[in-house]
Amino acid sequence: MMDLFDKRAPTSDADGEGYGSSGEMKKTQYMLQLLGTPWDPDTLKCILAAAEQGMELKSGYLDTLADEQDSEEYRELFEFGTYPSLKESDYTLAGVTGILAFINARGLGYSLTPKNITVAAVQDFWIDVAITEATPNIQALVQEKVVNQLKDPNCAVDMLVCAAAKENLVPILDALDKQIGDDPYIIGKYSFADIHWTALIHLLLLTGEGADLVQQRSQINRWYSSLATRKSNSGQSIVSFSLLPSLEDIKNKKLSYVVIDDF
């Protein structure tokens, strides 16, 4: 019986073509299936991580605008309705923290979690800042400038909400800019901290409210620009950054697949 993953993110195309159909096994044993939304930073983090770690992934839209996460079909899979959600063969999992760790452990690249204890703690601190302080403000902007228009094209933007969110982001982005300093990545080496912040800065820029916030901060600007050409953590030629959605993708509720061609 098909579940929501197989309906929205099928591992094989309608004509039977697709991963594993030729009988050739790639290094990754199973295709991952992801459900989420293109304006959800957590969904984007999962796609970035899969590309970085060389895990092929098909993604599908979960209609959270219609509260599909509370539907009986979804709740049969995930009793508390949390998302994004992932399926690998007979294993299912919901929530970004679990999905990122699972992809990291199953993937091909070196671990995105630093081995040095103090560096690992610093990584987790910057992830915490992303979740605790940046996310609520960026999500407020995304809600006002993008999601509300998807629900109702005539919906007016609350400029007070946008102004407050932008003001709140100033000290947070100042601190991030200082943390990056002259390093190529947030804690020196590429880590989960970069994945969390890449998704957030991307959505911030898509709202049309973030250009000045980012461009005024030279280190964030340099770091973010460099990601556009950075090849994956697992040594493959895929650029995870290229899989992030455009505003048009968001309007079309379209999520990218992760396709690995150079095993």
Partner 1 sequence: MGLFSRKKDTSSQEMELLGVAGQIATLKCLVLAGLKGISLRTTFAPESTTVDQVNSYQYLAQNGRVPTLTQGDFSVSGARAIMTYLDIRGKGTSLTPRKARVLGQQNYWIDICYQLLGPAVQAISDGNATDEDKATCNSILNRLNELLGENLYVVGPMTFADSNVAAYIYALKVSNADFSQYPNINNWITRLENEMTDVLLPMLTAAAVNKVA
Q: Which residues bind partner 1 (CB under 8 A)?
A: 79-80, 82, 91, 93-102, 105-106, 117-118, 120-125, 127-128, 131-132
Residue number, 15 or 79, with CB nearest to partner 1: 79
Residue of 201, 143, 193 whose CA lies nearest to 173: 201
Residue number, 63 or 124, with CB nearest to partner 1: 124
Residue number, 180 or 206, with CB nearest to partner 1: 180
Q: What is the sign, positive or negative, of the torsion defined by CA atoms of 248, 9, 74, 127?
A: negative
Rounded least distance, CB 124 to partner 1, Å: 4
DSSP state of 165: H
DSSP state of 221: H
Rounded least distance, CB 244 to partner 1, Å: 22
Residue number, 31 or 93, with CB nearest to partner 1: 93
- Cβ-contact 101, 46 below 8 angstroms: no
User: Measured between alpha carbons, how far is 243 from 5 in angstroms, rounded to an integer?
Assistant: 20
Rounded least distance, CB 79 to partner 1, Å: 7
Q: What are the structure tokens assigned to 110, written together?
A: 């070196």
Strand-strand pairing, 85-88 and 57-61: unpaired
Residue number, 206 or 258, with CB nearest to partner 1: 258
Q: What are the structure tokens assigned to 197, written together?
A: 């912040």
Rounded least distance, CB 234 to partner 1, Å: 15
Q: What is the 3-state composition of the chain as percent helix, strand, coil, each rounded to the nearest 5?
A: 50, 10, 40
Rounded least distance, CB 46 to partner 1, Å: 12
